Structures are given as structure tokens and as C-alpha cells.
Chains A and B, each alone.
Chain A
Amino acid sequence: MQPYKSIAISSHHLKEDLPFHQKIALSLVAIGALIQIVFWVGNITANAGLWLYSSLALIVGGSLWYFREQYKDTLPGIKNNGVLFASLTAKGTLAWMLGVVLTGFYVVLYWFPEYLGLGGDGAANSGLVALFDPLSMLLKGKPASQWFVYGTLYTLIIFLMGVKFIYKYRHNRYQVYRTMSIIFFQTAIAFILPEILVGLNLPYNDFKNIWPLNYYFFFDWHINDLIASGLFGYFVLFWGIILFLVVTPVMTYFYGKRWYCSWVCGCGGLAETAGDPFRQLSDKSLKAWKLERWIIHSVLIFVTLMTVSVLVTRFTGFSRIFGIDSYTLSSWYGFLIGAAFSGVVGVGFYPIMGSRVWCRFGCPMAAYLGILQRFTIKLPWFKETKRMSKFRITTNGGQCISCGNCSTYCEMGIDVKAYAQRQEDIVRASCVGCGICSAVCPRGVLRLENI
């Protein structure tokens, strides 16, 4: 028998059983979730408001209580005890089950939203989507869509797991601050603000979602929508281009890719909070690194070609660029990368492949940021070749004991130890600057720095 089984996520206590209070707290969360499932499966529409708010209150209250109980008697510090024993976090049965559930959820969300209760073609919503109508009405005066449901749950999870993350790393201010930043950007900028815009009959816009992550930014319908909404639309267009051309290179020059991936981005936000218990599952092998560079740069090329062809079609009217019609190209991109890769694989496979599969292998924005972070440039007026970013992780002289904690807990699959034990700085395109390698290092060897 394995005496260390635990259902706690990234369990701190390796008790055989949860303490009583945690059981109650978990039950509250379960009841909250059950309400949503009953609405969904039973296709219920009655009294949505009451049930929705009770359900959310139960989930939020229960989770916060649970996390408080989980950490209240522990001393601050790194306690990854049992992470690689627990079924959920060490690719056991629970992990596979969760993987299947998440993957299934994404498939339904993207391709079968009617099963969630989306009332297509002007019909009223039912089921899960209808349950969220009251909140949607409150924010924008319109009924919910499957995306509204998803957005709400997504934000909720980042908030709740963010709170857990803050408890867990409460001794480390870098972790606390960046998690607060992630929660803020997700809640205010990615969730509430766009809904309010829609309520004001302006185009939906997430002001921190940058092309090429926001791959539809230059699509015809999007540009048309923006232009149709007048000054605001032009501002959004202008802001989007500035974000890509100016803000991203400048911020990355000063702080590295982390300013976005670990402080702002919503995909990164989910990976850092909900994905934190799974960060150790990333593949650290050299093979995986090679594969990563092929795939992620292919996606960057794909999104660039696709966007160029869409724009050329817009301005010249030719629809066949690069031998394929731009419409086909963009819909394939949306299907393969936008939905299948970033959602189904990216989040669905958290419990099996780790939390940053999308960020590491698929995200074209990460590829762009990575190029800015990693590469050197020699301009005529420079005396020497310069890195395009000031960011690096420095190694503290000879203090490394090659224990491997840093590599194990690097969600990007970087073999940090390989550098640290040779006393080399770590400058890698994929490093999102989460700072966990530095946090888990028992000998104080690693420091994230901007020179």
C-alpha cells in the first residue's frame, strides 16, 4: 500500500485523509459545481440568477476556505512534498481522468456549443449557458454565449488558484506580485472590460491580447467591425499595432519575455495558477527542446503567412496567395492552432504534459517574444553585438549542487541545472521568467535579473 496518497493538489500535508474542515470546504465546492452540472445536463432554465450566484458563492467560498485551511498551519517555504507521489500530479489515474474531462470540455466548447445550451439563431439559451445569462445581462445587457461561460469560469479559476499560489509562495514577493498582476489583467482587462464594451455596443476588445496570439486581429471581419465603430475602433487598431511594434520590443528589451508571459498574458495566467500543480511534468530532454524549436517557429511562420495573405486579399482582392486561398488558410489556422492546439491540447493536456505545452510549443507570440529575448543583434553604430534583451538568469558562482529541483519545476522544460552546474547564465528563448527555478533552488543559486 502507498501510505502517501493524497487528493490535495500539490499536497502539502501527506496525511492519508483530509482534515475535517477541508472536507467540508471541498464539499461546498462540489455542491457549487453540481448545481452547474445539473443545469447543464438537465437543461434547466428556471431561477437561473439565484442558482448561478449561489453556485459561484459556494465555489469561491469553499475554495478560499480550503486553501486557507491547507496552508494555515504550515511554515512559509518550498514544500513540494509528495508532488511526484500523488496521483493527480504524477500522471496517475486522477491525472488521466482530469485530462480526459478537460479535453472533452474543450471539444464541446469549440465545436458543439449547443450541448452547453447555446441557443443558436436567435433562440433562447438553455442549460449551462442559460445559467450564466443573468451575469451576462448584468455586465452587458445581452444573454450569454458559450464564450461568456468559458470566460467567467476561466477568470474564476485564475483568481482562485491564484490565491492558492499566493499562499503557497507567500515568502516570495516576486511570486506574489506577479500573481496579483495576472489576476488583475485577467479579471479587469480580459474579462470585465470587453464585456462592458460590448454592453456599450462597441466591438469586443481585450487590450492586452497581442497579434500574433490574437490571430484574428487583421481578419477582414475584425477590421471592418473596428472601422465601423469609428474613433474607438481606430484607436483599437492603432493600439494593437503599437503593442506589437513598440510596446513588446521595448518591454522585452528591459525585462525579457516575462513581462508578458508571467505578468500579463491570460494563457500564461492559467498556466501559472491552475497549471502550477503540473509544472513538473514538462519534458526536459534535449529531444523535446529540438522539437519545440521546430514547432513553435513553424506556427510563427504559419500565422505570419496567414495574416499576410488575409491582408493582401483585403487590399488587392486576390484571394489566392501562396497557392492557397486566404480564407481556407485562416480557417485552418483557427481550427488547428487557435482551437485544437491552444485549447484542447494546451489546457486539456495539463495533467499529462505539464502546464505550458501551448506556451512552449505553440504560441506564436511566445516565439516572437523568444526571438527578442534570446537573439543578438549588431547594428552599425554598436561597438559589439548586443543581446536584444537585458534579461537573464544568473548563476551564483559555484554554489550549485546539481540537485535538479530547478529543472524539474521549470514548466518550460528548460534544463536549468545543465547551465547552473557549469556556472553559466541561463539565456533561453523559451524562459517565461516565472522565477520558480529560483524559488525552489535550495542553495540560492539562481537570480532573475535585468542587466
Chain B
Amino acid sequence: MHIIIIGNGISGSTAARHIRKLSDHKITMISSETEYPFSRTALMYIYMGHMKYDHTKLYEDWFWQKNNIETVNSHVDHINTDQSKIQLSDGTLMEYDKLVIATGSKSNKFGWPGQNLNGVQGLYNIQDLKMMEAASRKGIRRAVIVGGGLIGIEMAEMFHSRQIPVTMLVREDSFWNIVLPQNESQMINRHILANGIDLRLEEELLEIKGKDGSVSSIVCKNSTEEIHCEFVGLTVGVSPNIDFVKSSDILTNKGVLVNSNLQTSVPNVYAIGDCAELSSPKEGRRNIEAVWYTGRMMGEAVANIICNSSESYDQGIWFNSAKFFDIEYQVYGQISVVLPEGIGTLYWEHPSENKAIRINYEMASKSVIGFNLMGIRYRHTVCEKWLTENTHIETVLENLSLANFDPEFFNEYEQSLMDKYNAINRKNLTLKSKRKLRLVENFLQSDLND
């Protein structure tokens, strides 16, 4: 059987690795971006000089040949599902038995005047990074970043590392408050400002002006202020990179539509990662989850589906993480911006440092539904178990030290959160567990009813 995977990002490469683990099928992995898989999430670190491109490769180059995974550095122009063939940009046709579409996303552009000028770009792939590097070498006196999301703040940090002044236009009245609750979002606002970034909240882009084909300034929509700049970063989200699929008879909406077996409307064709749109996601989850972890989990799942035709894709408990300049962020489970009816929240924030813990729970049953951490690391497996088992908030609090994943000698703040809970609820709970790996392992092995 010949399995062709289009795209060598985290989803495509994970699929390839797991198909190889499970079978001897012929595997071909095609990408027009790079010959071998690398980590897109590390693009910023290449620009900042923390790493070279080679450091960001997922595996050493020999790995793919050794595992008999053929890599092709080319672009797929067309899929012909009737003949089970794909066509590469040089005209080559390749026949598949199974096809996996894992082509990721592309940066959004919303038709702003001047958006195609030199020095105006998004940040998604290695080519974008090269353009950013070239623009920086030419000299940037100020960069304007449009959009207050994860890639926007990464871009701000990138320029900041090179002493390039940055203005950030954020449509919302607080950074990323479509995802972060107010306190956490405001902590990030303060931190952005502390880094000397010119943060403009409730501001949008009206137009980009140019001179000789290159950007020279932008005009803000609300203040109508004109800001001179040599670079404009458009980081207003991404959308599935599936234009080349549209000429085939595979059904698409925003992304390539798939069922819970990650199968598209055409048998033997699957889609995974950023470009896949689940027709019926789990309750409370989105159709398209354009994050690293989803890509990896789908990659593993599709391998199981193709090779064992048994398991379907399980979205599992939501988790994610990011870093806003120096503040690490982790989330497990459901944390909503506006508290839904019947959901309680317990929040503690460090009086002087950028650290916070939030736990959300159902008021009626008192079972926990989400953890949100700023500047503090929590253990994925422990939080996940509590969430899966709908554990009572008080049990969680008493054992919260099991979740702490900060390095040794760091202050532990579980007691502070507990104090907060006790004060609000007039209780007298105390911490029962210690932060100790042996106890964590015992806890993880203990069965559901303990």
C-alpha cells in the first residue's frame, strides 16, 4: 500500500512516524516548504538568535531515510480522486492508495489597502521568516504589528530582541481577551508595556501607505493617527491552507471536512492538523483547532485509523500553552472569558510577580472544569486526571501540590490559593500532599474511585 502525506508539519510527520511504527506500507511525505520536518513554533527563536534552523528540525536528517519514509520537496497542485493521483508542480503524477492532507494554515489578510506592499507580511512559514530577516537587515526604525494574538506577541518579542521599536494594534480592549480571562489578560498588558512595547488597545488598521513599493506608514482606524514604519506584521489569525484542494471533489468548508475518523468525503482520503475541519466536534470544542498538539494527536490517530482501522480520533481534554515575553501560560480544560451560568472561579495572583493560578468549577457539583496558570507550571497528567474524573474542588485543592511542576526550590503557591478558598467559603482546608514524584505516580495509578 502506498500512503502519500501532503505536508510535513507536525501532523504530517507524526502520521508518517506512526504509520511506520504500525506497518511496512510505502510512505511518501511531500512538502514545498522544507525537505525535512522542523518546528514552526520555533521560528521566533531563529530570528532572535537562540537557535539556528538546524536546531529546530524534529529529527536528524538520516532519521527519515532510516525509517524508510520518502521525503519529496515539491508542491502538490492538484488531487484527482477518481484516479487516486496527485499532481506535483513539475507535472509529475503520483498514485496513492491512501492520501493524508496535512497542509496546515496560511496567514489571514483582510483586504487592507496596501497589504501587498514590501515590508507587509504575516509570519507562518520559513519563507516569511526569511522576509522578516531581510527587512530587518535593510533597517526597520519601527515595526507595527496588527493583531493581538499569539503570533502577534511573538513577533513583538522578536523585534524587541533586536532593539527595534514596536507598536501593536489590538482590536480588543485588553490583550487576547477572547481567550484569557480579564485578570490574566491585564497581567499581559502590563508585561507588554513593561517591555517598552507601544501597545494600542481598541485600535485597528485602516490602511497601509507606501513609497516606491515599500511600506512607509500606517493609518489607525480609531485615532486616525498615522504611524511611520518600515514593517507591518499582519497577525490577525490563520485559516486552512487548502486552495489546491478546491479543484478536487473533496468537500471543504473553511477547512477540509472530516468525520470522527478523520476521513474526508472521499474514501481513502484523510485530513489532519490545522487544515482539517471536524464536522461534529466534541461539545464545547471548535471545528478547527489550529494548534500544535491537535496536529500531533490527529497525526497519531490517523495512523491508527489507517493501519488498524479501529480507533477514531478523540479530542481528549483541551490543553494549550504559550509564552508572552517572560510569562509562561498553561491551560487545562475549560476556561472561559466570561463565566457561564453555574460556573465558579477561584483566582489567586501574586502581589508583585507575574504569577497566577485559576481553577474553574461547577457550582452545583463542585467538580473542577479548568486550570489556568500564569508564570507557574502545572503537571498535565495530574490536571487531566482531575478533569476526567470530575474531581471535587476541595479534593483538588488539598492535593494541589501534586500538580506543581515548577523547578526545585521555587516558591509554591498552592497554600495561597487555598487560603483564598478558605476565606471565601469560611472553610479550614489544609494541603494534604507534597510535591513529590512518588506521590504523583501513586496518584496517577490510583483508580477512579479512590
Contact = CB atoms under 8 A, between A and B. Distances in A.
A and B: interacting chains:
yes
Interface class of chain A by DSSP? loop
B60 A286 contact: yes
A399 B382 CA distance: 13
A21 interface: no
B282 to A, nearest CB: 17
Interface string A232-248: 00000000000000000
B110 interface: no
A80 B157 CA distance: 12
Interface residues of B, number: 50
A173 B384 contact: no
A46 interface: no
B50 A405 contact: yes
A404 B49 CA distance: 13
B56 interface: yes
B326 interface: yes
In the A-B complex, list the 10 residue pairs whose CB atoms are closest, starting with the nearest.
A397-B380, A77-B326, A444-B377, A403-B42, A173-B409, A82-B49, A81-B161, A401-B41, A80-B50, A85-B49
B194 A444 contact: no
A4 interface: yes
Contacts of A405: 42, 45, 50-51
20 contacts: A4-B49, A14-B161, A15-B163, A75-B194, A84-B50, A171-B326, A173-B409, A173-B410, A396-B377, A399-B319, A401-B292, A403-B39, A404-B56, A405-B45, A407-B55, A435-B407, A438-B407, A443-B328, A444-B330, A444-B377
Interface string A165-195: 0000001111001000000000000000000
- Counting chain A residues whose Cβ lies within 8 A of the other chain, the interface size class is 35 or more
A396 B59 CA distance: 20
Nearest to A85: B49
Interface string B126-164: 000000000011010000000000000000000001110
Nearest to A418: B59
A141 interface: no
Contacts of A451: 437-438, 441
A449 interface: yes
Interface string A368-397: 000000000000000000000000001011
B379 interface: yes
Contacts of A450: 437
Nearest to A395: B380
A279 interface: no
Nearest to A174: B407
Interface string B42-59: 100100111110011111
A43 interface: no
B125 to A, nearest CB: 16
B341 interface: no
Contacts of A402: 10, 39, 41-42, 56, 58, 292
